[in-house]
A and B are shown apart, each in its own frame.
Chain A
């Protein structure tokens, strides 16, 4: 069964010739390949978010059209799951794990420090579009708590003092 693998939650799929039309074509192609469609809404949304980076209104409308379901239903689903976002993300997505293990090992301080360093609150994107800060419930690397994840790379046993340096690596990239 062809299914999208959610894989990297932060990175956009490579689109060789770029462009919005190409993105919609990729999505159409994926939907067409599915043996059943309406029931696969969540897989389709995953794929769409991979292609577009987020799920803005027009993408959701397009999916509603493709599946012949009300847009409200698509929106209801998108707004229910924390994995889906309607806002475009920055180039790098910074996630502070706020699972219990990280919580008891000081994740809140790390989160505050990242917010301070980036000058944004969790859920926001920096003005230059470089970073989006999100929080994440447990990546399962509890032995490394507290954990910071940037673009899928896990930084373990993070100390407040290291945050600036870690973020710095991405500023240069």
Chain B
């Protein structure tokens, strides 16, 4: 049923239940918002109306109405631009700024901050009501996330994301009145909580209250150390998002320019994590076949997402035996670089610095897990930077990204197939695994290589694949809340699945916590996913087991997939952790 109303004297007709904010957007009026965030695809709707920035005048109403959460009613007369509304709006921003550090120039969110943008848009030129500012300790305890509550504007987006979408529940509003702030339980340092470091909290944080642990300087140091042999590896999702950092359209594929930029930054080798993704598929498909053959426990769960791994370690310690034991691709890459490639090139592995460029902040934490660098002097991966950090480095180096020529990855660890590319989006890992497992199990070539049923933003995707007469039940889920639903089914013994792909971030790695900020625009994520599938189609080889460099690796170094050496280098174990 349509509702007729007027906004700024313009007649509007919108469906019942529409908010004033959305109704105004239909006539191209953008009411400023701050705390509001509606990520429909992720089922995140933060419309708690706490910032009071989006207030508008509604005729007959005593007070101003928050447009983000006030549904339209028939005959409503809305004014978004009266002096009363504008004054209130600006005062809200002034009040927020009065309790906010004025260190914008040195904030890692400088020029990427919603509060800053709002202050600029609303023409805030002075702070009328100055007073006491909050003083909280900054938490830099973890290897991934920095929490600076002083910059928190209490929009509670992180809390909504962590509690409702990810169901991890690390954050809560704490205290009351002016002291209210979002914190961890007992203000524990982040690394002592159940935080999975998925980074979705910082992906939605409008200010610099939640940011990644910046490791750019460590990279610069390594690059400028003549003793170090510095290798870059880049995850699939980075190449479809990095361009956004330089004003390119979301979904622009910038693989060649990215490689060129990394080389100009001084990396000795620029390799591709996708190589290791192909390797992962070979290992994981073999592991699956092994479980099928030996009657091992099913379903097998993918293990390439470190946030997901940490999630089940805390939340489902009784299920530690079902995820694949495969390390994640970038960790596999690191160990291959330091063993195989070092051997190949005759370089002392201790001289090698592996820098992973990831769409993810959890990878920073993962690289620091003790069991993933058995010899402390040669961790699998030395430094992890995010897509955003790489963009900053490129800007800092003064490289005109847009003008760069396309260059190719170095070999042999730069070789990859289309199956590896699609690791970057939800459904990609299982699709890649099926492209290999199907052929291995059935002994027949796959007629239809693309598994449309696993693509898209639907939270839980399921399909039954006929594998030589055996129904093979597959599920794909992204977002930890969705994962929880599936795991609870497994726990209850109600699951008939054989294999499940789980990614912590909604959308998979393209929506990772280390990607350029989407500022609530989900179209960006969709464009990145589309680019991933485009890149897949552009590849000649689209099945992991066909990757010639991977084959060579087995022949010359590893031996059998899932064999003894592979086990030692490419597989890991999980640790029971406390739920906090």
A and B touch in the complex (CB under 8 A): yes
Q: Which residues does A use to contact B, with CB under 8 Å? A: 57, 60-61, 64-65, 69-76, 79-80, 82
Q: Are A80 and B176 in contact (CB under 8 A)?
A: yes
Q: Are B169 and A79 in contact (CB under 8 A)?
A: no
Chain A residues near B454: list those with CB within 8 A: none
Chain B residues near A57: list those with CB within 8 A: 186
Q: Are B176 and A71 in contact (CB under 8 A)?
A: no
Q: Nearest chain-B residue to A81 (Cβ)?
A: B176
Q: Are A71 and B173 in contact (CB under 8 A)?
A: no
Q: Are B171 and A72 in contact (CB under 8 A)?
A: yes
Chain A residues near B171: list those with CB within 8 A: 72
User: Size class of B's contact patch?
Assistant: 10 to 19
CA distance in complex: A69, B579 (Å)? 9
Is B12 an interface residue, CB under 8 A from the partner? no
Chain B residues near A71: list those with CB within 8 A: 185-186, 580
CA distance in complex: A82, B179 (Å)? 13
CA distance in complex: A57, B186 (Å)? 7
Q: A60-B186, A69-B169, A70-B185 are in contact. Are A79 and B175 (CB under 8 A)?
A: yes
The 7 closest A-B pairs by CB, nearest first: A70-B169, A76-B172, A71-B185, A72-B172, A72-B185, A75-B185, A79-B174
CA distance in complex: A57, B187 (Å)? 11
CA distance in complex: A76, B183 (Å)? 8
Q: Are B175 and A80 in contact (CB under 8 A)?
A: yes
Is B19 an interface residue, CB under 8 A from the partner? no
Q: How many pairs of A and B residues are in contact by the CB < 8 Å rule?
A: 51
Q: Which residues does B use to contact A, with CB under 8 Å? A: 163, 168-176, 183-186, 193-194, 579-580
Partner of A74, one of B163, B168, B184, B185: B185
CA distance in complex: A64, B194 (Å)? 13
Chain A residues near B579: list those with CB within 8 A: 65, 70
Q: How far is the CB of B518 from chain A (nearest CB, A)?
A: 25
Q: How far is the CB of A82 from chain B (nearest CB, A)?
A: 8
Q: Nearest chain-A residue to B174 (Cβ)?
A: A79
Chain A residues near B163: list those with CB within 8 A: 70, 73
SS class of chain A's interface: helix, strand, loop or mixed?
A: helix
24 A-B pairs within 8 Å (CB atoms) are namely A61-B185, A61-B580, A69-B169, A70-B168, A70-B169, A70-B172, A70-B194, A71-B186, A72-B169, A72-B170, A72-B171, A72-B193, A72-B580, A73-B163, A73-B169, A73-B172, A74-B185, A75-B172, A75-B186, A76-B172, A76-B174, A79-B175, A80-B174, A82-B176
Chain B residues near A76: list those with CB within 8 A: 172-174
Chain A residues near B580: list those with CB within 8 A: 61, 64, 70-72
CA distance in complex: A75, B182 (Å)? 11
CA distance in complex: A167, B68 (Å)? 54
CA distance in complex: A82, B186 (Å)? 16
CA distance in complex: A80, B171 (Å)? 14
CA distance in complex: A35, B194 (Å)? 29
Chain B residues near A82: list those with CB within 8 A: 176
Q: How far is the CB of B137 from chain A (nearest CB, A)?
A: 16
Q: Are B170 and A70 in contact (CB under 8 A)?
A: yes
Q: How far is the CB of A60 from chain B (nearest CB, A)?
A: 7
CA distance in complex: A82, B174 (Å)? 12
Q: How far is the CB of A81 from chain B (nearest CB, A)?
A: 8
Q: Are A72 and B184 in contact (CB under 8 A)?
A: yes
Chain A residues near B184: list those with CB within 8 A: 72
Q: Nearest chain-A residue to B170 (Cβ)?
A: A72
CA distance in complex: A65, B193 (Å)? 14
Question: Which of A60, A69, A72, A76: most chain B CB closer than 10 A?
Answer: A72
CA distance in complex: A74, B174 (Å)? 10
CA distance in complex: A57, B580 (Å)? 11
Q: How far is the CB of A156 from chain B (nearest CB, A)?
A: 30
Chain A residues near B172: list those with CB within 8 A: 70, 72-73, 75-76
CA distance in complex: A74, B186 (Å)? 10
CA distance in complex: A60, B176 (Å)? 18
Q: How far is the CB of A73 from chain B (nearest CB, A)?
A: 5
Chain B residues near A65: list those with CB within 8 A: 579
CA distance in complex: A82, B170 (Å)? 23
Q: How far is the CB of B152 from chain A (nearest CB, A)?
A: 14
